Structure 1
């Protein structure tokens, strides 16, 4: 059964996209002032120049919007400073996203378009704290949700041509997972080639979870086998997404969901993994979700040939074919990774049994092959849409359906074509062989973030220890230095790793990246220390309560390497260190500074961070209202509590609606 005739699946996908927007907007909203406000770490008014946009007329403003598609440029027209404009985008986006999760009428093209534009608006001015793979994945998926949503939100069945739009979602899921597996090996990272990446991953990831500590204790043979499993799920299983056998698609769906759940349990990756699970809805159908079965042409054909037992015979053949395909993938996985079982002691030996040169050739072949696979699958979906349109009983319905199918085909072909530029980055020969007009089209649409290249954990960091920046303050340069704790990232060795997802603490996340380099590469960290020295309220709210009642006179930053403690079976839950972490001092990261150090002020002025004092801005009743919401609602609960409370309320309302509708 083609996915175009699955209205329940479509409604589930759009509703879940609403939930993803809820997570994204609700997570970002409380952090805007500290990150993008007048005295924030990366003031947004540096991106949205006041003099450039304030006096623009409508035609000029539209021209600027095409170049930089963000509603934030209209903040001055609304009597708001740009940071307040970002807050308004999040509030409106959050309210619309909640409506999408609750009401069928809100699951429409205009609403999904507005949600996409609102998130694109904050993304375009978000700078270093907002340009992550999950943000671009949300935008790319959100654009496909616009195409998939009906023009008017109704309970009517979806058109057969809607399968083309859902096919694009499936193709995005394929590109995401396949590329994530391939780049781990094309990077030639020794840990991925040695199957030892998970020996370091659980303690070196951005924000670990408590379960990650336990996963780190697994024996090495199990860690290596888990890496093999990662390759299997990210490289082999995605090839089943386009299989003609429904059982294979469902097997790949379940595999991907279980894989994402394991990642959610062992690491805090905000809404990224949940969004990947939402993409997996493209592998489902109404028969799975609601039990509604449709007569298929293949079943009718077998019934006509073999009589009453034709349907059962076809079912047996399909199940056997599915088992054979899965068995073949298991077999070759065992061969390529030289998997050997040993009983005494119980262990599984594994190592890569292919060469880097051989893998490079295989990547080239696979990129061409998967492109052909995608083309053929798309053609099949297009033909299905045409056939179902022709089978409409009424001539008017046929014409409308064919017109809609033609439009959907054109959109699908364009989206597939420009996605090949991103997909082709896995192999340079394929990338350069693409027609120049496809490159040009992709480049011209790039400003709208429609397609992207993905590749998670290309290189494993923290092999010698998890690098962490510890900021310290003191009132005397020779006196007692006290550490500033962050809300979520590791600090005190005794501090337990938290569960944060689906919230993303963007400052904590960037601290992880900053620890991999220097403050010259990430100058905002000097700005962070400066704001702590002057006691900037908006920035302090991004951290745990400070160790000083008044801002300290001096501040410095040190670089440490953190390691998980080891499980002690004989004495207690933790090792003798009595905490979750052990750490060792590595080097000075930022020397001692004060807020009035001339070199610090010169450095920050060079980065345009202190332009807030020169920013005139605007003020209005709307801005006072936004400030009231920030001060009286969001600052009273943690971001994680806020998001989870909203999601739980949405879930309870939908369960209640489902209960009463079924009575």
Structure 2
């Protein structure tokens, strides 16, 4: 190993870059397919209105130069094409500077989308993708040895993701300290997957082992990432196994997959495929990497201080470029699951016998008989925000009424976000929303009714509403 590069990580870098490009591809695809209804010119939270009220320094984006739905689509589909080419290894066939510029363009395009995404893009994995993507710009390609400094920055990022999530749990809900949170989590998580009911039905001692193992992997194992090989590789492998467990038990967009990608960068590839001699880095490249390392270390002060704070914050960005951020998840776990059910009717007068037809969403629970589907790493943004809205109307204040208005108009872009449209001939006259308590059925209930969920009416969320 030279002071700057290490041939032992050539395979780790190759796998990391291909996998990161795949995550980018999913993120850009989700943006391309969902943006019109969410943030388009006629969306629930239109980008042009957002740009008029937010100063450029708070939200740097290429859309400051021009915005139209056609231009946004061009940006998103360009991101898809660039990502797909990187998955195929295009960057390794280019000069180092061109490859770095390619990764930089990808990062800039996604930053531009996140910075106008508003509520729909307020998730921690958006910042995680941007921070990872920024570091990937300086990781090089097959024309140069993997830079050790950038590899260490990736481990520092992975450490903050895991250790931050572990600390927020210990400092948060008491059920993490008494190892009972997983009595509830698989049932109350934002978007259950097809196996979530089976995970929920595990014996309670198994749930306690799950919780204890979570603490070990998130609080102890990340420290080992900074130890010599092969210990660091073993630590990375344990993180990968834990993340795959989370992939099987729920739908968390690309959070788990991106964490796996980060862990792969810490694996010593020579343990599998031996070393692969590569050219040493040019002086200009070494200077750039050293400068970026210094920048990241300086910007790490506030995220590091946040880790040590008793008032630790989850998923916080400290600059509008999302360069170095704080992470965390599930500091609090809900004990009951509440779901919003949106219904419409074509009757002009509401009465006791009015027939209401339910709108089904693609991912979130609705029909009690339907098996939840596995959507991750794809991100169903509307479904996720419906989960937040059920927790508190505050989360729905900016977008829920515009959503209902578009249902009453029969807006095609909005309806494409849903599993189906119960009003094929004409839009409904009235739409309402009701809050229900959902729980997984017992084995006996499942045999007798065929239902996977049992639901109980709680209260009205939105009274029957029509277009004025």
TM norm. shorter chain > 0.5 = yes
Alignment partner, residue 459 of structure 1: 332
The 8 Å contact of residues 233 and 268 in structure 2, kept in 1 or not, is answered as no
Higher helix fraction (1 or 2): 1
For the pair 1:547 / 2:429, whether they are aligned, the reply is no
Alignment partner, residue 470 of structure 1: 341
Alignment equivalent of 2:462, drawn from 590, 598, 615: 590
Shift of 1:48: 2.9
Alignment partner, residue 48 of structure 2: 45
Unpaired stretches in structure 2, ≥5 consecutive residues? none
Distance change >3 Å, CA 47–CA 95, structure 1 → 2: same
Distance change >3 Å, CA 516–CA 409, structure 1 → 2: same
Distance change >3 Å, CA 470–CA 44, structure 1 → 2: same
1:189-200 matches, cutoff 5 A: 189-200=173-184
SS of the residue corresponding to residue 175 of structure 1 reads: helix
Alignment partner, residue 254 of structure 1: 237
Q: Distance in 2 between matches of 1:551 and 1:281?
A: 49
Q: Distance in 1 between matches of 2:409 and 2:83?
A: 38
Alignment partner, residue 439 of structure 2: 563
The 8 Å contact of residues 271 and 503 in structure 1, kept in 2 or not, is answered as yes
Q: Distance in 2 between matches of 1:208 and 1:428?
A: 32
Shift of 1:582: 0.4
For the pair 1:529 / 2:401, whether they are aligned, the reply is no
Shift of 1:28: 1.8
Q: Could you give the per-residue CA deviations for residues 608-637 of structure 1, whole angstroms, max 9, x where no partner exists?
A: xxxxxxxxxxxxxxxxxxxxxxxxxxxxxx
Alignment equivalent of 2:392, drawn from 508, 517, 526: 517
For the pair 1:409 / 2:290, whether they are aligned, the reply is yes
SS of the residue corresponding to residue 175 of structure 2 reads: helix
Q: Distance in 2 between matches of 1:521 and 1:156?
A: 49
For the pair 1:111 / 2:84, whether they are aligned, the reply is no
For the pair 1:425 / 2:331, whether they are aligned, the reply is no
Alignment equivalent of 2:38, drawn from 35, 41, 46: 35
Query: What's the Cα RMSD here?
Result: 2.5
Q: Distance in 2 between matches of 1:519 and 1:551?
A: 27
Q: Distance in 1 between matches of 2:458 and 2:245?
A: 32
Alignment partner, residue 145 of structure 2: 158
SS of the residue corresponding to residue 558 of structure 1 reads: strand
Alignment partner, residue 307 of structure 1: none
SS of the residue corresponding to residue 210 of structure 1 reads: coil
SS of the residue corresponding to residue 323 of structure 2 reads: coil
For the pair 1:503 / 2:375, whether they are aligned, the reply is no
The 8 Å contact of residues 166 and 282 in structure 1, kept in 2 or not, is answered as yes
The 8 Å contact of residues 299 and 324 in structure 2, kept in 1 or not, is answered as yes
1:480-491 matches, cutoff 5 A: 480-491=355-366
Q: Could you give the per-residue CA deviations for residues 330-384 of structure 1, whole angstroms, max 9, x where no partner exists?
A: xxxxxxxxxxxxxxxxxxxxxxxxxxxxxxxxxxxxxxxxxxxxxxxxxxxxxxx
The 8 Å contact of residues 11 and 270 in structure 2, kept in 1 or not, is answered as no
Shift of 1:407: 4.1
Shift of 1:17: 1.6
Distance change >3 Å, CA 247–CA 278, structure 1 → 2: same
Alignment partner, residue 413 of structure 2: 538
The 8 Å contact of residues 184 and 458 in structure 1, kept in 2 or not, is answered as yes
TM-score (norm 1): 0.65
Alignment equivalent of 1:11, drawn from 11, 14, 17: 14
TM-score (norm 2): 0.90
Q: Could you give the per-residue CA deviations for residues 571-615 of structure 1, whole angstroms, max 9, x where no partner exists?
A: x9x24232110011111111121111xxxxxxxxxxxxxxxxxxx
Distance change >3 Å, CA 217–CA 74, structure 1 → 2: same
Unpaired stretches in structure 1, ≥5 consecutive residues? 54-63, 295-388, 432-441, 597-663
> How many equivalent residue pairs?
451
Alignment partner, residue 227 of structure 1: 211
Q: Could you give the per-residue CA deviations for residues 518-564 of structure 1, whole angstroms, max 9, x where no partner exists?
A: 16852311111111112111111111222223212112111011001
1:10-159 matches, cutoff 5 A: 10-49=13-52, 68-75=59-66, 81=68, 83-102=69-88, 103=90, 104-105=92-93, 108-150=99-141, 155-158=142-145
Q: Could you give the per-residue CA deviations for residues 432-463 of structure 1, whole angstroms, max 9, x where no partner exists?
A: xxxxxxxxxx96xx1211011111111102x0
Q: Could you give the per-residue CA deviations for residues 65-90 of structure 1, whole angstroms, max 9, x where no partner exists?
A: 666321122225xxxx1x33221111
Distance change >3 Å, CA 520–CA 7, structure 1 → 2: closer
Q: Distance in 1 between matches of 2:309 and 2:395?
A: 32
The 8 Å contact of residues 440 and 452 in structure 2, kept in 1 or not, is answered as yes
SS of the residue corresponding to residue 468 of structure 1 reads: strand
